[in-house]
């Protein structure tokens, strides 16, 4: 039963991460195993099929669908320019002539004698997949992508919005319980990853956007401010494609919650270093948490990827993740095995947490998470 | 186990010890079933977080952890490392079969197409929902979207599977072929796995099969089956549903983290959880000739099942759940609707933050009474919204011409009206964590009564510890085992709710009633508006209730008409609900809190509750 615990967020100074970079559809891999790559370097490329434009020729020519092949002047696979004639009739009097012109430049995908439609497809769009983080290519997957290995400092957030970005880390507050206020931002922060403390208000978010920061990392925000930022109420935690001007990463959760001291200390120690960040969060179907990757130098080798731990043990540092003690950090001081009745009258498995002031509390096991990477 | 899901599995050895799991979106639940004498009983239960997510990304990890809990509790050795010992080696080692259901990894997400949205489009939707899928979009020739918008939609949604329907057999083929052309042009890609082709089932006009094959064969893993609407007046959903189950196992589950291993571990095909729960609900209704509404409220979805006059329907409300999608319940219901069930005041910001924190840390449980009450308030809204969704889809066939007699002339009956008639409803069955694990059973009963507002006399029951999915899949391989456990260990009858229809001023007379117990005792009382009352009537007991409503109030036989009914007891008893139908809560905050406090205290809903918080 010791296995049944909530895996926590990793916050570690030394680790090796592997990032699988995959194209959304088959394409070409541009690098080889062993290559060193930079975060902004393309590692694979694909062509996204262009938009499709259906044109109902039968209707426009007033003929039966089966007859349209007699009027089409192009065939499937032909390239057409914008306004080029696709089909025309041949009346005895030229005033009655009808010409159907292409609304876009592209190729003829299909001509259907059943529906009387012609499908035009615009030229493909080139999609370049970036390495995302500085590191080395350790695997290539033909037509699909690569795996990039990076020795780094690594911080996992709990929730984020916005896509991948990179920039130099800059500390905007002096302590993890200090809120990030609008006056902390100035023009020197443009393109950088700004680290705050306990809280970020909507006004501060607006300021961050106007300065043009690459990202903001903070302990918590109010849900109301998130709604104001996005313009809608977020229903499920599947994010990463929002375009709000910067990438936002919460390390603790919703509310004004001081950033865990360990996280703050680690980020402070890395100030001035380049970080790759992603706000993408997906809390189901293969969890994705937002992350901050701070690559180490090329010579910094010898570290190994962390393996998932087995269960929870006495002395493990833990964070309480549910009210009434949400956000408090302590260590496991007892692991009773029997079910315990809590104040809701539910009988659950619990553990005892000891805080730094010596106070001990009993918490349902599912309401704590282990601080990984300790 | 890679057998087809649509064909029953035959196991030739005796099955005396069975371990079953349900891999939910949040937790993996395991139960042990053992044959004791001639009867199968559920004996031990284990639970562990589901592990499709990082750092494990292997669903079997959670399964093995949940089974390890059973091992610890039962003293039976079931695991040999990462393997389940089957069949039993001796009295204390191994199990005879391992079976599983799953909704982990987001379940089965499908897109369906038809020609006319509320005819073949809806039939296709019913077929997919019936197979336990989440329908992410319904495309139809007349859905109001422009052709290029349809193509963009197909391309962007990334479903696990597409079901194409449309046209009656022998009818026009043009619109069906047109839709096939759009699907082909979109080149849809599956959610998981880049290298495999998207499974696509064609179940439309059989005359269009050759053209559809020509257009889609190279662009998808095309399977052709019987038309789901061969004629306008009849649906034929079973062949398409069976194909969905088969393709789910063959294609979709193979892509999810660790499922290949899970499929190999299981002794029978893995079934989507909603399909398994639906099987059980349908069996109860048919065996007891009942009209039934069943619900399974999970972490990510709320699945509703109904059987009315023998017609089975199932809907899966994606993103109405209690953990991953709890925030979406807030978004859909609105804060005011959730707050109306909370018997204290809390500021909006705090409540919003708490709900979001549950969304991002979905495995947590309420530790304080306030938190429990908030979760149960949200559950009422999730249940209510999912039933509205279900009512809109559990309808008669639309577009069918109705024969009318002269007596029908003044009745404005339309085709396709909902089949859900709360006055004909005999039984409500609740399942899922928040209902099965409520600390007091009365809480489950009141949550369902508040959400569904049953009318007249309606019996309620709950899945004791959430094992209906397990029993659903078990029923496909050993019906006796499933039935034994269902009757003895799973189904907990809560009692009966007696609710007059109508409204009146608080404190005014609603109805006179007389209860006669089987031992001859009688009780004559008056039910007043705004009153909630609990009368003891134990499990297995029956009583006769005679209700004489006042003249503007109806008990199902007409306004002011008395009814006499046999009512069943349960672990809660007889709930007399004088709050009126439809249920209206006071609008003003202090009055609402006072009303909730009065009702909750009247039925002893929570340990301590006072209006002065």
Q: How far is CA B77 from CA A21, A27, B72, B86, B470, in A?
A: 42, 50, 9, 11, 21
Q: Which two tokens stand for residue B493?
A: 């009858």
Most confident of B130-144, B252-266, B493-507: B493-507
Please state whether the peptide bond connecting residue A243 to the residue before it is cis, i.e. omega within 30 degrees of 0: no
Query: Residue B50: its pLDDT value, please?
Result: 82
Query: Residue A263: its pLDDT value, please?
Result: 93
Give the pLDDT band of residue A374 (cuts 50, 70, 90): low
Nearest to A65 by CA among B112, B185, B170, B181: B181
Query: Residue B7: its pLDDT value, please?
Result: 58
B41 contacts B34 by C-beta, under 8 angstroms: yes
| Residue in the structure block whose two tokens are 């909730």 | B596
Judging contacts by C-beta atoms under 8 Å, the chain B residues touching residue A4 are 47-49, 65, 69
Query: Residue A229: its pLDDT value, please?
Result: 94
Query: Distance (Å) from the C-alpha of residue A118 to the closest C-alpha of chain B?
Result: 10
Judging contacts by C-beta atoms under 8 Å, the chain B residues touching residue A22 are 194
Compare CB distances from A3 to B55, B68, B182 and report the shortest one's residue. B68
Rounded CA-CA distance A35/A138 in Å is 8
Q: Residue B530 pLDDT > 80, yes or no?
A: yes
Average pLDDT of chain A to the nearest whole number: 89
- Tell me what the mean pLDDT of segment A145-173 comes to: 95
Higher pLDDT, B95 or A373: B95
Query: Residue A124: its pLDDT value, please?
Result: 86
Give the pLDDT band of residue B3 (cuts 50, 70, 90): very low
Find the closest chain A residue to B358 by CA distance.
A322
What sign has the CA pseudo-torsion A224, A230, A232, A238? Answer: negative
A178 contacts A256 by C-beta, under 8 angstroms: no
Q: How far is CA B611 from CA A281, B336, B347, B506, B599, in A?
A: 41, 19, 17, 18, 11
Query: Residue B547: its pLDDT value, please?
Result: 96
Q: How far is CA B282 from CA B56, B130, B193, B312, in A?
A: 36, 11, 35, 7
Q: Residue B191 pLDDT > 90, yes or no?
A: no
Count CB neighbours of B309 within 10 A. Answer: 8
**Which residues, listed in sequence order, are joined to residue B544 by a DSSP beta bridge?**
B516, B566
User: Residues B273-325: pLDDT tens digits?
Assistant: 888 888 888 888 888 899 999 999 988 889 999 999 988 888 888 779 998 88
Q: Is A132 left (phi over 0), alpha (psi -120 to 50) or beta?
A: left
Return the percentage of chain A with pLDDT > 90, whole number: 59
B245, HSE (Cβ side, Cα atoms, 13 Å): 27
* Helix (H), strand (E) at residue A335: none
Contact B68 A364 (CB under 8 A): no
A309 contacts A325 by C-beta, under 8 angstroms: no
Query: Residue A373: its pLDDT value, please?
Result: 60
Judging contacts by C-beta atoms under 8 Å, the chain B residues touching residue A287 are 53-54
Judging contacts by C-beta atoms under 8 Å, the chain B residues touching residue A344 are 366-369, 371-372, 439
For chain A, report the end-to-end CA distance as a whole number of angstroms. Answer: 22
Q: Residue B422 pLDDT > 80, yes or no?
A: yes
DSSP code of residue B546: E
Query: Residue A5: its pLDDT value, please?
Result: 54
Query: Distance (Å) from the C-alpha of residue B356 to the closest C-alpha of chain A?
Result: 7
Nearest to B295 by CA among B310, B309, B311, B280: B280
DSSP code of residue B15: -
Find the closest chain B residue to A8 by CA distance.
B55
| Residue in the structure block whose two tokens are 């002065």 | B612
User: Residues A92-114: pLDDT tens digits?
Assistant: 777 778 888 998 899 998 888 88
A199 contacts A180 by C-beta, under 8 angstroms: yes
Residue A78's contacts (CB-CB under 8 Å, 6 or more residues apart) are A107, A108
Q: Residue B609 pLDDT > 60, yes or no?
A: no
Nearest to A215 by CA among A231, A191, A241: A191
Return the percentage of chain B with pLDDT > 90, whole number: 56
| Residue in the structure block whose two tokens are 């079969």 | B97
Q: Residue B426 pLDDT > 80, yes or no?
A: yes
Query: Residue A47: its pLDDT value, please?
Result: 86
Give the pLDDT band of residue B105 (cuts 50, 70, 90): low
User: Residues B575-597: pLDDT tens digits?
Assistant: 999 999 999 999 999 999 999 99
| Chain A with chain B: Cβ pairs closer than 8 A | 201
Residue A336's contacts (CB-CB under 8 Å, 6 or more residues apart) are A350, A351, A352
Higher pLDDT, B415 or A343: A343
Compare CB distances from B106 to A284, A289, A345 and report the shortest one's residue. A284
Judging contacts by C-beta atoms under 8 Å, the chain A residues touching residue B367 are 322-324, 342-344, 363-364, 367
Contact residues, B window 268-327, toward A, CB-based 8 Å cutoff: 300, 319, 324-325, 327
A298, HSE (Cβ side, Cα atoms, 13 Å): 7
User: Residues B428-463: pLDDT tens digits?
Assistant: 999 999 999 999 999 999 999 999 999 999 999 999
Compare CB distances from A366 to B186, B360, B365 and report the shortest one's residue. B365
The predicted model scores a pTM of 0.85
Query: Distance (Å) from the C-alpha of residue A192 to the closest C-alpha of chain B?
Result: 26
User: Residues B374-410: pLDDT tens digits?
Assistant: 999 999 999 999 999 899 888 777 666 555 555 555 5
Rounded CA-CA distance A323/A361 in Å is 13
Nearest to A236 by CA among B165, B236, B564, B136: B136
Nearest to A373 by CA among B317, B55, B407: B55
Contact residues, B window 44-73, toward A, CB-based 8 Å cutoff: 47-49, 52-57, 65, 68-69, 72
Q: Residue B508 pLDDT > 50, yes or no?
A: yes
Q: Range with the lowest mean pLDDT among A1-15, B59-73, B324-338, B565-579? A: A1-15
Q: Range with the lowest mean pLDDT among A218-227, B40-49, B103-112, B324-333? A: B103-112
Q: For the residues of B181-219, what is the DSSP string, one character each? A: HHHHHH----SS-SSSPPEEEE-S-GGGHHHHHHHHTTT
- Tell me what the mean pLDDT of segment B398-424 comes to: 65
Rounded CA-CA distance A290/A251 in Å is 9
A156 contacts A290 by C-beta, under 8 angstroms: yes
Q: Where are the beta strands (DSSP E) in B79-175?
A: 79-80, 83-84, 97-102, 108-114, 133-140, 161-164
Contact B324 A237 (CB under 8 A): yes
Q: Residue A303 pLDDT > 70, yes or no?
A: no
Find the closest chain B residue to A26 by CA distance.
B194
Contact A254 B364 (CB under 8 A): no
Query: Residue A219: its pLDDT value, please?
Result: 95
Find the closest chain A residue to B323 by CA distance.
A236
**Which residues, listed in sequence order, are joined to residue B23 by a DSSP beta bridge?**
B28, B102
Give the pLDDT band of residue A91 (cuts 50, 70, 90): confident
Q: How far is CA B106 from CA B176, B260, B384, B537, in A?
A: 29, 17, 22, 41
- Tell me what the mean pLDDT of segment B5-24 comes to: 79
Compare CB distances from A308 to B55, B349, B356 and report the shortest one's residue. B55
B520, HSE (Cβ side, Cα atoms, 13 Å): 0
A213 contacts A190 by C-beta, under 8 angstroms: yes
Compare CB distances from B352 to A1, A224, A287 and report the shortest one's residue. A224
Q: Residue B208 pLDDT > 50, yes or no?
A: yes
Rounded CA-CA distance B45/B276 in Å is 19
ipTM, 2 decimals? 0.86
Rounded CA-CA distance B48/A3 in Å is 8
Give the pLDDT band of residue B55 (cuts 50, 70, 90): low
Count CB neighbours of A359 within 10 A. Answer: 10
Contact A54 B353 (CB under 8 A): no
Judging contacts by C-beta atoms under 8 Å, the chain B residues touching residue A121 are 185
Query: Distance (Å) from the C-alpha of residue B418 to the closest C-alpha of chain A?
Result: 28
B62, HSE (Cβ side, Cα atoms, 13 Å): 33
User: Residues A253-289: pLDDT tens digits?
Assistant: 999 999 998 899 999 999 999 999 999 988 765 568 8
Contact A159 B360 (CB under 8 A): yes
Q: Which of A114, A231, A255 to mutate to test the interface with B (most CBs of B within 10 A)?
A: A114
Query: Residue B107: its pLDDT value, please?
Result: 64
Nearest to B161 by CA among B198, B127, B187: B198
Chain A interface includes B355 (CB < 8 A)? yes
φ, ψ of residue A74 in degrees (nearest 5): -120, 165
Query: Distance (Å) from the C-alpha of residue A254 to the closest C-alpha of chain B?
Result: 5
Largest Cα span, chain B: 75
Q: Residue A1 pLDDT > 80, yes or no?
A: no
Q: Residue B5 pLDDT > 70, yes or no?
A: no
Chain A interface includes B607 (CB < 8 A)? yes
- Tell me what the mean pLDDT of segment B487-508 comes to: 94
Q: Residue A2 pLDDT > 90, yes or no?
A: no
């Amino acid at each position: 039963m010791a296995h049944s615990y909530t895996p926590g967020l990793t916050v570690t100074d030394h680790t090796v991460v592997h990032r699988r970079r995959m194209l959304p559809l088959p394409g070409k891999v541009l690098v080889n195993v062993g290559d060193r790559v930079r975060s902004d370097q393309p590692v694979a490329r694909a062509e996204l099929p262009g938009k499709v434009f259906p044109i109902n020729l039968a209707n426009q020519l007033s003929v039966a669908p089966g007859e349209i092949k007699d009027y089409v002047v192009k065939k499937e696979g032909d390239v057409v320019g914008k306004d080029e004639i696709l089909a025309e009739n041949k009346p005895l009097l030229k005033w009655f002539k009808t010409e159907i012109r292409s609304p876009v430049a592209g190729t003829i995908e299909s001509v259907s004698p059943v529906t009387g439609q012609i499908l035009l497809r615009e030229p493909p769009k080139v999609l370049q997949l970036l390495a995302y983080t500085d590191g080395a290519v350790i695997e290539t997957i033909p037509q699909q992508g690569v795996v990039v290995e990076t020795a780094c400092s690594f911080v996992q957030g709990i929730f984020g919005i916005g896509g991948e970005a990179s920039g130099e880390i800059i500390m905007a507050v002096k302590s993890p319980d200090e809120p990030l206020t609008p006056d902390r931002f100035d023009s020197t922060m443009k393109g950088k990853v700004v680290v705050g403390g306990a809280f970020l208000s909507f006004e501060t978010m607006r300021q961050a956007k106007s300065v043009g920061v690459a990202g903001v990392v903070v302990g918590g925000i109010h849900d109301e401010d998130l709604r104001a930022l996005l313009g809608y109420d977020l229903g499920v935690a599947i994010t990463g494609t929002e375009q709000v001007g910067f990438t936002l990463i919460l390390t603790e959760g919703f509310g004004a919650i001081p950033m865990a001291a360990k996280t703050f200390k680690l980020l402070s120690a890395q100030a001035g270093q380049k970080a790759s960040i992603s706000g993408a969060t997906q809390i189901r179907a293969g969890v994705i948490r937002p992350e901050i990757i701070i690559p180490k130098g090329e010579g910094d080798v010898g570290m190994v990827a962390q393996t998932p731990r087995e269960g929870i043990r006495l002395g493990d540092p833990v964070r309480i993740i549910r009210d009434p003690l949400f956000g408090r950090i302590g260590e496991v001081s007892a692991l009773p095995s029997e079910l315990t009745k809590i104040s809701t009258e539910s009988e659950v498995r619990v553990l005892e947490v000891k805080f730094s002031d010596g106070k001990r509390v009993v918490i349902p096991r599912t309401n704590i998470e282990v601080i990984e990477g300790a | 186990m890679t057998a087809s899901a649509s064909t029953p599995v035959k196991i030739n050895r005796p099955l005396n010890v069975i371990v079953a799991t349900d891999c939910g979106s949040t937790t993996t639940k395991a139960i042990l079933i053992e044959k004791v004498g001639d009867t199968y009983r559920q004996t031990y239960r284990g639970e562990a977080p589901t592990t499709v997510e990082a750092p494990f990304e292997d669903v079997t990890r959670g399964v093995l952890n949940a089974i390890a809990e059973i091992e610890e509790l039962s003293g039976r050795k079931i695991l040999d490392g990462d393997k389940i010992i089957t069949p039993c080696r001796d009295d204390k080692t191994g199990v005879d079969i391992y079976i599983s259901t799953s909704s982990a990894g987001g379940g089965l997400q499908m897109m369906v197409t038809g020609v006319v949205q509320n005819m073949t489009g809806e039939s296709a939707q019913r077929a997919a929902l019936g197979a336990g899928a989440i329908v992410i979009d319904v495309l139809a020739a007349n859905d109001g979207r422009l052709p290029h918008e349809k193509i963009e939609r197909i391309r962007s949604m990334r479903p696990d599977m597409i079901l194409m329907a449309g046209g009656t057999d022998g009818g026009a083929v043009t619109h069906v072929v047109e839709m096939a052309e759009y699907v082909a042009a979109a080149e849809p890609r599956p959610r998981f796995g880049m290298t495999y082709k998207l499974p696509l089932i064609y179940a439309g006009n059989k005359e269009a099969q050759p053209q559809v094959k020509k257009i889609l064969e190279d662009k998808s893993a095309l399977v052709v089956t019987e038309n789901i609407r061969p004629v306008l007046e009849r649906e034929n959903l079973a062949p398409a549903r069976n194909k969905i189950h088969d393709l789910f196992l063959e294609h979709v589950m193979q892509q999810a983290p660790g499922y290949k291993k899970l499929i190999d571990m299981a002794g029978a095909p893995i079934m989507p959880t909603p399909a398994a729960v639906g099987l059980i609900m349908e069996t109860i209704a048919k065996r007891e000739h009942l009209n039934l509404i069943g619900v399974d409220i999970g972490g990510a979805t709320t699945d509703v099942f109904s059987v009315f006059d023998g017609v089975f329907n199932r809907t899966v409300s994606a993103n109405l759940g209690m953990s991953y999608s709890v925030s979406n319940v807030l978004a859909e219901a609105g804060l005011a609707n959730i707050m109306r069930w909370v018997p204290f005041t809390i500021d909006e910001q705090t409540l919003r933050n708490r709900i979001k924190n549950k969304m991002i840390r979905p495995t947590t449980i309420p530790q304080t009474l306030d938190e429990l009450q908030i979760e149960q308030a949200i559950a009422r809204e999730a249940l209510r919204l999912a039933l509205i969704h279900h009512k809109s889809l559990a309808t008669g066939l639309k577009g069918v011409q109705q024969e009318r007699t002269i007596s029908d002339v003044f009745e404005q009956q339309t085709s396709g009206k909902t089949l859900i008639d709360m006055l004909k409803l005999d039984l409500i069955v609740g399942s899922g964590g928040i209902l099965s694990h409520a600390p007091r059973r009365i809480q489950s009963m009141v949550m369902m009564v508040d959400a569904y507002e049953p009318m007249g006399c309606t019996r309620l029951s709950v899945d004791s510890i959430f094992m209906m999915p397990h029993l659903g899949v078990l029923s496909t391989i050993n019906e006796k085992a499933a039935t034994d456990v269902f009757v003895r260990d799973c189904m907990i009858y809560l009692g009966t709710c007696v609710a007059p229809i109508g409204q009146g001023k608080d404190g005014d007379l609603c109805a006179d009633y007389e209860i006669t117990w089987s031992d001859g005792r009688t009780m004559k009382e008056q039910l007043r508006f705004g009153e909630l009352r609990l009368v003891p009537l134990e499990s297995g007991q029956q009583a006769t209730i005679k209700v004489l409503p006042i003249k503007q109030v109806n008990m199902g036989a007409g306004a002011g008409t008395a009814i006499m009914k046999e009512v069943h007891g349960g672990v809660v008893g007889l709930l007399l609900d004088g709050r009126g139908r439809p249920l209206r809560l006071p609008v003003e905050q202090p009055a609402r809190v006072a009303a909730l406090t009065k009702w909750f205290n009247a039925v002893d809903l929570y340990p301590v509750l006072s209006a002065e918080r």
